[in-house]
Structure 1
Amino acid sequence: MQEKEQIIRTEYSELMQKSYIDYAMSVIIARALPDVRDGLKPVQRRTLYDMHELGIRYDRPYRKCARIVGDTMGKYHPHGDSSIYEALVVMAQDFKKGLPLVDGHGNFGSIEGDGAAAMRYTEARLQKITQEAYLADLDKDVVDFVPNFDETEKEPSVLPVKVPNLLINGAEGIAVGMATSIPPHNFSEVIDGVKAYMKNPDITTEEMVEHIKGPDFPTGGIVVNQSDLLHIYETGAGKIKIRGKVEIEQVKGGRQRLVITEIPYTMVGANIGKFLMDVYNLTETRKTNDIVDISNQSSKEGIRIVLDLKKGADVENLCNLLYKKTRLEDTFGVNMLAVAEGRPETMGLVPIIRHHVNFQYELATRKYNTLLAKELEKKEVQEGLIKACDVIDLIIEILRGSKNIRDAKDCLMNGNTGKIEFRYKGSEADARQLCFTERQATAILEMRLYKLIGLEIEALMKEHETTLSNIAKYEEILGSRTAMAKVIIKELNRFQKEYGRERRTAIENAAEAVYEEKKVEEMPVVLLMDRFGYVKTVDASTYERNKEAADAENKYVISCMNTDRLCIFTDKGQMHTVKILDLPHGKFRDKGTPLDNISNYNSNEEAMVCVSNLGGLLGRKLLFASSSGMLKQVRGEEFDVSKRTVAATKLNEGERLLLVQILEETEEESIVMQTEKNMFLRFLASDVPEKKKGAIGVRGMKIDEKDKLSAVYLLGAEEKTITVKEKEIALYRLRLANRDGKGVKK
């Protein structure tokens, strides 16, 4: 019989809330955030464990990364192969990790942002430190193993990491509603911090900072806000300011060069290229004239970015400019968030080390309990073998008189002689006294005859003494926290001696970079723009010497001040502004720069209607005329705006701006409007009212539905003549009429 369908009614918002919380927690715990105990995200933990299981140890040959990624994805991490490979690559990059955990062979990317080669080309194996300090003792029941995603394999819930990896390598991850960003630290300093905590669990952050002085980035650099570190390490959040390391070299001719040998950690990757572009832009926009050339001479030996300076350059001021305007000084946001006891928590320096040390005691307790259990088993077996050697003749007689192993074993353990045939009468009485344990009886039955040789018996006695010594040692370690601490510290000292290195990042309290911008000396210049849109400025005296050629070769010739701004009005109704200082200034025969390279103006899409300097517009009025015949006057002050591009007027769809021109505001100043069918209307400019730039304006001429406006002319005192159908028409002789008329046919 078919079951009746059940419909569960529930509140939609509650269902969505529960589902989203489940999703968020899955991302937080199972993907994005590291565990405070081993400092690893799940993908990193699973990749390292898989390499360990595949036997890709530090002393064995490299294996293809594709094999590692595929095996990890198939057994432990059911997500995209790209995320696994990316995690593997990052763990092998010494410019991102303070302590690389993977030994990469092949192209694993570069500090300048080049990506790693495809996983089918690269190879990898574990580093020695990873094998010794991250994956050792997995066979000693030190951590819990949990089922994998399809319950066909077992994986460790956490790796038995013996060093505080969360601090040594740092961490970065974005979860749902939270993110972690922990800087890397110096290996030796972190070990010193752990030892200091173990000796004094009540240690304060201030005392801890004496051991762990601050972040130690693999790219070096200089931390310049040392005074803020105590607060950051106390709260687990804050901002670290990092600067690149700059050296000054002397060159021939009395010139100098700035050489950047270390970069901020945040500049790793594509930001090196962005830094070079930022420096280039500083020279192009004339923020500085001290830089002659920029070159990136970085190689496998290290970073070397060279800035050649002109003679007499102010080096200190230039360095401050680079700190202020480029990523040579940058901020590393710290948020020491990790999963502790199953939930995300922001922790300071001491709590992170406390969690690590507690984890070390837990690992050591489980390890030595396992070792003690094995030694006790060995002790039991050894004592049985030693006792058996003393009564070996009796045991041989029992074995010869037994019909099967079960009877022999029963006799050895319980003294049951009923099923045993003895050769000698006294032997049965002795056999009844036997009381070996089951483990001892099994070992006796499996013992080989050569073990009865004298030297072998001596070796057994020595082995028994060693076992008793180990048992005493393990019981002492497990019975005393102080003894366990000594063992842990001893191992940390070994790691520190073998893998410790000098600090790379300097830490200091540096003065904030203050850049004094040189005041621009105001001077008159002449702006020249040819018909191809190439623009430049020249000195007024240079223009006067070449006036005739300049006027003939250029579409626009505008006298202005070098502190002024250039205003470009387009037929789309936009106004683009460019600082005159941003334009190339030089000789008369210099080619100049395309206008669309230094402004938002696009010569492929828009046509220039008017080009003027902002200083020439202030205090004046502009006449605007659109293709639909709408006119208005606008005050020039409305275009004194800070934005580089603004709407200069309002246009309807399909409408174009035909004319923008400065009004002379004389009595005889008039406007002539011409249509495609050669209808002309002339009226006084004063008939056009003043409007805001956002207004459409008023109609200047009634145009027939089958006709269109083709041109608008502003006439002053000059006499203007145009040619229509090979006939010259003097516009100033047209009869004055009223605005919004039909005009006359010509």
Structure 2
Amino acid sequence: MPTQPPLNFEGVERQPLRTFTEKAYLDYSMYVILDRALPHIGDGLKPVQRRIVYVMSEQGSWQAAKHKKAARAIGDVIGKYHPHGDSACYEAMVLMAQPFSYRYPLVDGQGNFGSSDDPKSFAAYRYTEARLTRYSELLLSELGQGTVEWVPNFDGTMEEPRLLPARVPNILLNGATGIAVGMATDIPPHNLREVVNACIKLLEDPDTPLRELMKDVKGPDFPTGAEIISPKADIKQIYETGNGTFRARATYELEDGEIVITELPYQVSGSKIQEQVAAQITAKKLPMVENIRDESDHEHPTRIVIVPKSNRVDLVQVMNHLFATTDLERTYRVNLNIIGLDGKPRVMGLKDLLEEWLKYRIDTVTRRLQWRLEKVKSRLHILEGLLVAFLNLDEVIRIIRREDEPKPVLMKRFKITEIQADAILDTRLRHLAKLEEMKIRGEQDELAAEQDRLDKLLGSKAKLKKLVRDELEAAAKEFGDDRRTKIVERAAAVAIDETELVSTEPTTVILSERGWVRAAKGHEIDPTSISYKTGDAFLAAARGKNTQQAVFLDSTGRTYTLIAHSLPSARGNGEPLSGRLDPPEGATFSGVLIGEAEEKCVLASDAGYGFVVNLGELHSRNKAGKAVLKVPEGSKSLAPALVPADEKALICATSSEGKMLVFPVKDLPELPKGKGNKIFGVSGKGDETMTAIAVITSAQNLVVYSGERKMTIKYADLKEYKGERAQRGAVLPRGWRKVDKLDVEPA
């Protein structure tokens, strides 16, 4: 069998897997940070946004032009400059066209570009049309004036601008959100006039403190209005550190006894607000509200009406509750993480951000002036050559007619440059009229004056700053508007207590053997007479108020609580407790109690142990319940019993051997949790267990259930069964020794 030649790794780079993966991940993360997720401080745009705006300008989709199919722009963007998915690219265009997403939209859309209720409900790009807004001219108007660097596109066949020459700090005006690798950015939108005023203050005095800047930039300014309710200290911290949070709240008016919501917080959907409020109405958590409806239209983009049930309802309290429980009030995170002029991402405070942008703007204006100065000098140089030609017109014509190579002869004869000679040779015959000399001299005077002005501007920092200031003021005058989001410091909203939302009514909580629960109005209902699902039957009932907590005890000794009014109506079969609670596997429910937290009850296991405990100790917000009664292995809990406020109250306990023991409640110790003390002296031999317990007062009778039969024993007749706690009691009459349940009824 021939041997295989050894593998040849010559010329193949070899490196440890750790080194390779680390470098690959770092390269990817830097790409995401710099070329996808974070905006640049210069124009405030991410690469995809910059390319969309640039392509639309190249296509001539200006405000004065007709709308063009969005597909044309998206096709050019992904084909020429942005080799990524068309859907993500189009979504970026849509975002820049949504007036509820961008404070100053860059794209003017025609067609379905989504709505504030559902921003992603926009039509496909084959159906929509778009053009640039007038505001976008602030980013593009100086593009062809030598203001920015041009870099090759992804395949090196074309060039694109590295940045756009923004005339205003767009990074703050429209804000940005983005998630990169290991970092994110959350920049809220701001008001153009306020930001420009802050920039002018910094131009005039670079040492202007933050508190002075905040007299102009009071806080974010959302396109949807609403109001910011955070304390000024919180907003100041955001602008100092570049990090923090603030709260925004919807605004409303009271009209004819109804609440009319007129402005929603930024990026909050009106339809979602309706769903949240309607869900509370359905769940009976908002009983004072009858209805909610949407009356929004073209004239009133946001008009959500909340109708109270009566004119006695405190509408301010209702709104405070909704602020606390719905998206009518939201917390916004701020993280001013931006790619700086050095090409590195960092978090900036307000002053640092504006200072950095002003450096970019001054550099952009300087480059624009230098570019124009070079153009002026070049034109003056050509005009000088043309003037020489006009002053010696006959000689120039003679040289051109007679010489095979007139350019070098012209250059030598009149001592002009090659550029000037080319300009003379390119001059048309009709421009050789006498009047052209006057035009040349006039243009020379104009350009000389412009050159002098440009030299002075470039030679003076003060004049350069004044030019930047004048241009900022002009932009603010043309595109600025009033603040939409009010800043009003308010206390945090507090939800109305759940028990206050419901009018107090008597209720009966009914529990079935299979753990299905329901609540009936009033105390008159007979729980045994209502219908149950096939194979199910009545287990226990508790009477109380619908504003009280219903306490459920399972066979393992864990207790669970649910507010009574949240339980399903007794008109149906109810619902299984396992749908709301999370009992241990295999556990069943033993009983139910309802009452005030300070009321007492008896918990016991069939092993004969138990204790008295406050109902408040049994309450639990946890779906998994609270371990209260320690049940010995092989045993289970019994149905609990409320302890009435009666000094003569007695505990009645029965056993599987047909015996009953009666003793005063005060003889059983009170504990918060545990196994408890011995109630009934269950025999250690055989399978004897305690089968039921009840607490009876002097005004009640004891009812003993055995199968379908029941026996009533008067309070006075219980003396035959009285004994000390932990004794074995006395034997019940023949035929009643198999006790299934004990209950009490009025005497």
* TM bracket (short chain): 0.7 to 0.9
**Number of residue equivalences:** 657
Deviation at 1:451, TM superposition (A): 1.5
Q: 2:623 aligned to 644, 662, 681, which one? A: 644
Q: 1:247 aligned to 242, 249, 253, which one? A: 253
Query: What is the match of residue 144 of structure 1?
Result: 149
Query: What is the match of residue 542 of structure 2?
Result: 558
> TM-score under structure 2 normalisation?
0.77
- CA 1:162–1:594 in structure 2 vs 1: closer, same or farther (change >3 Å)? farther
- 1:412-431 to structure 2, matched below 5 A, reads 412-415=410-413
- CA 1:482–1:276 in structure 2 vs 1: closer, same or farther (change >3 Å)? same
| Structure 2 CA distance for aligned equivalents of residues 70 and 606 of structure 1 | 62
| Structure 2 CA distance for aligned equivalents of residues 46 and 183 of structure 1 | 22
Moved more, 507-516 or 186-195: 507-516
Task: Give, as a single letter, the amino acid of the residue that structure 2 aligns with 1:380.
Answer: H
| Structure 1 CA distance for aligned equivalents of residues 527 and 462 of structure 2 | 94
- CA 1:597–1:278 in structure 2 vs 1: closer, same or farther (change >3 Å)? farther
| Structure 2 CA distance for aligned equivalents of residues 241 and 719 of structure 1 | 61
| Structure 1 CA distance for aligned equivalents of residues 271 and 212 of structure 2 | 40
- 1:223-302 to structure 2, matched below 5 A, reads 223-228=228-233, 229-250=235-256, 256-265=257-266, 267-269=267-269, 272-283=270-281, 288-300=286-298, 301-302=300-301
| Structure 2 CA distance for aligned equivalents of residues 685 and 7 of structure 1 | 92
| 2:655–2:691 CA contact under 8 A, matched in 1 | no
Query: What is the match of residue 420 of structure 1?
Result: none
| 2:638–2:692 CA contact under 8 A, matched in 1 | no
Query: What is the match of residue 356 of structure 2?
Result: 355
Deviation at 1:379, TM superposition (A): 0.8
CA offsets 1:565-620 (integer angstroms, 9 cap, x no match):
335678999976421132478xxxx8479436996269xx9998555225599633
| Structure 1 CA distance for aligned equivalents of residues 480 and 375 of structure 2 | 34
Deviation at 1:160, TM superposition (A): 1.0
| Structure 2 CA distance for aligned equivalents of residues 665 and 169 of structure 1 | 73
Q: 2:44 aligned to 14, 39, 42, which one? A: 39
Partner SS, residue 398 of structure 1? helix
- CA 1:691–1:136 in structure 2 vs 1: closer, same or farther (change >3 Å)? same
Query: What is the match of residue 401 of structure 2?
Result: 400
- CA 1:441–1:6 in structure 2 vs 1: closer, same or farther (change >3 Å)? closer
| Structure 2 CA distance for aligned equivalents of residues 623 and 457 of structure 1 | 118
Query: What is the match of residue 128 of structure 1?
Result: 134
- 1:326-475 to structure 2, matched below 5 A, reads 326-340=326-340, 341-402=342-403, 404=404, 406=405, 408-415=406-413, 434-475=414-455
- CA 1:509–1:292 in structure 2 vs 1: closer, same or farther (change >3 Å)? same
CA offsets 1:633-667 (integer angstroms, 9 cap, x no match):
787969542213449899xxxxx999964589756
| Structure 1 CA distance for aligned equivalents of residues 225 and 412 of structure 2 | 72
Partner SS, residue 526 of structure 1? strand
Partner SS, residue 258 of structure 1? strand
Partner SS, residue 218 of structure 2? coil
CA offsets 1:233-268 (integer angstroms, 9 cap, x no match):
122122222111121112xxxxx1111111111x52
- 1:482-493 to structure 2, matched below 5 A, reads 482-493=462-473
| Structure 1 CA distance for aligned equivalents of residues 430 and 194 of structure 2 | 54
Task: Give, as a single letter, the amino acid of the residue that structure 1 aligns with 2:410.
Answer: L
Moved more, 228-237 or 159-168: 228-237
| Structure 2 CA distance for aligned equivalents of residues 593 and 347 of structure 1 | 61
Query: What is the match of residue 56 of structure 2?
Result: 51
Query: What is the match of residue 157 of structure 1?
Result: 162
Query: What is the match of residue 211 of structure 1?
Result: 216
Partner SS, residue 124 of structure 1? strand
Partner SS, residue 578 of structure 1? strand
| Structure 1 CA distance for aligned equivalents of residues 27 and 161 of structure 2 | 23
Matched, 1:184 2:184: no
Structure 1: tracts of 5 or more residues without a match? 251-255, 416-433, 625-630, 651-655, 672-681, 704-711, 724-730, 737-746
- CA 1:52–1:658 in structure 2 vs 1: closer, same or farther (change >3 Å)? farther
- CA 1:635–1:259 in structure 2 vs 1: closer, same or farther (change >3 Å)? farther
- CA 1:124–1:155 in structure 2 vs 1: closer, same or farther (change >3 Å)? same
Task: Give, as a single letter, the amino acid of the residue that structure 2 aligns with 1:327.
Answer: D
Task: Give, as a single letter, the amino acid of the residue that structure 1 aligns with 2:621.
Answer: S
| Structure 1 CA distance for aligned equivalents of residues 453 and 109 of structure 2 | 40
| Structure 2 CA distance for aligned equivalents of residues 25 and 36 of structure 1 | 17
> TM-score under structure 1 normalisation?
0.77
Moved more, 226-235 or 85-94: 226-235
Task: Give, as a single letter, the amino acid of the residue that structure 1 aligns with 2:335.
Answer: N
Task: Give, as a single letter, the amino acid of the residue that structure 1 aligns with 2:622.
Answer: K
Task: Give, as a single letter, the amino acid of the residue that structure 2 aligns with 1:538.
Answer: K
Partner SS, residue 245 of structure 2? strand
- 1:532-547 to structure 2, matched below 5 A, reads 535-540=518-523, 543=524, 547=525
Query: What is the match of residue 458 of structure 2?
Result: 478
Structure 2: tracts of 5 or more residues without a match? 533-537, 642-649, 663-672, 677-681, 695-702, 710-732, 739-747
Q: 1:60 aligned to 56, 60, 65, which one? A: 65
Query: What is the match of residue 714 of structure 2?
Result: none
Moved more, 333-342 or 554-563: 554-563
Task: Give, as a single letter, the amino acid of the residue that structure 1 aligns with 2:180.
Answer: A
Query: What is the match of residue 312 of structure 2?
Result: 312
Query: What is the match of residue 720 of structure 1?
Result: 706
Moved more, 475-484 or 85-94: 475-484
- CA 1:358–1:289 in structure 2 vs 1: closer, same or farther (change >3 Å)? same
- CA 1:268–1:596 in structure 2 vs 1: closer, same or farther (change >3 Å)? farther
| Structure 2 CA distance for aligned equivalents of residues 140 and 412 of structure 1 | 33
| 1:633–1:691 CA contact under 8 A, matched in 2 | no
| Structure 2 CA distance for aligned equivalents of residues 260 and 501 of structure 1 | 23
Query: What is the match of residue 562 of structure 2?
Result: 578
| Structure 2 CA distance for aligned equivalents of residues 5 and 635 of structure 1 | 84
| Structure 2 CA distance for aligned equivalents of residues 490 and 166 of structure 1 | 20
| Structure 1 CA distance for aligned equivalents of residues 144 and 546 of structure 2 | 77
Partner SS, residue 230 of structure 1? helix
- CA 1:56–1:719 in structure 2 vs 1: closer, same or farther (change >3 Å)? closer
Matched, 1:620 2:577: no
Deviation at 1:551, TM superposition (A): 3.5
Query: What is the match of residue 498 of structure 1?
Result: 478
Query: What is the match of residue 321 of structure 2?
Result: 321
Deviation at 1:487, TM superposition (A): 2.6
Moved more, 393-402 or 480-489: 480-489
Moved more, 92-101 or 186-195: 186-195
Deviation at 1:44, TM superposition (A): 1.0
| Structure 2 CA distance for aligned equivalents of residues 350 and 575 of structure 1 | 57
Query: What is the match of residue 742 of structure 2?
Result: none
Deviation at 1:352, TM superposition (A): 1.2
| 1:45–1:158 CA contact under 8 A, matched in 2 | yes
- 1:515-526 to structure 2, matched below 5 A, reads 517=497, 524-526=506-508
| Structure 2 CA distance for aligned equivalents of residues 273 and 595 of structure 1 | 30
- CA 1:564–1:515 in structure 2 vs 1: closer, same or farther (change >3 Å)? closer
| 1:244–1:260 CA contact under 8 A, matched in 2 | yes
Query: What is the match of residue 727 of structure 2?
Result: none
Partner SS, residue 184 of structure 1? coil
| 1:226–1:507 CA contact under 8 A, matched in 2 | no
Deviation at 1:560, TM superposition (A): 2.6
